[in-house]
Amino acid sequence: MRYQFCPKCGGKLEFFSKQNINQPKCIDCGFTFYQNPIVGVAAILIKNKKILLGKRNISYKNKWCVPCGYVEYDEDVREATKREFLEETGLQIKLNRVYDVHSNFHNPIQHTVGIWFLAEITGGQLKANDDLSEVDYFSYDRLPELAFTTDRFVLDRLATEKLI
């Protein structure tokens, strides 16, 4: 059980069957607390066959990732990607197509679905910010230690398709 109490009334959450372990129900108000993955977004920025990565300074500290973040509850998925990228790298981007989508199970208490977009710079100045302590471009044969398995899948695919 990831949560014990009802977010609406504070009542106790219980399971009513084994099939419903992701849908506990409040014994007081009857609210069903659906527990679904949250959406993570990342933008792939490539320059001279090198990809921009960020060095993390909070969770997975000192490991590197494709700049990423979470979609806010009331936010458009593409707006979220641009906002997160700007916050972390100082760069404004425009998004092209969705490049890849994966389920991320690396955090046992929060399953996320990650979406990687291909992006192009439209403005700004490259500078690590927010959750990142460094940002730099890397070629595929000189990648630093990565934080997430799914970034590795995406980088392998970019290399196979000769994009990096």
Please give the Cα distance from 127 to 150 (Å, whole number): 24
26 vs 93, beta carbon nearer Zn ion: 26
- Binding mask 68-87 toward Zn ion (x if CB under 5 A, else -) reads --------------------
**Which residue in the set 3, 12, 21, 29 belongs to the binding site for Zn ion (CB under 5 A)?**
29
Could you confirm whether 72 is annotated as catalytic?
no
Q: How far is the CB of 10 from Zn ion (least distance, A)?
A: 7
Which of 126, 129, 3 minimizes the C-alpha distance to 57? 129
Q: How far is the CB of 22 from Zn ion (least distance, A)?
A: 17
Read off the DSSP letter of residue 141.
G
What would the two tokens of residue 35 be? 């527990």
9 is a site residue for Zn ion (CB under 5 A): yes
5 is a site residue for Zn ion (CB under 5 A): no
Q: Which of 84, 134, 145, 161 is catalytic?
A: 134
The residue type of 24 is P
What would the two tokens of residue 139 be? 């070629």
Q: Strands, E, within 11-90: which ranges?
A: 13-14, 25-26, 38-47, 50-56, 64-65, 68-70
What are the residues binding Zn ion (CB under 5 A)? 6, 8-9, 11, 26, 28-29, 31
Q: Among all residues, which ones are annotated catalytic?
A: 134
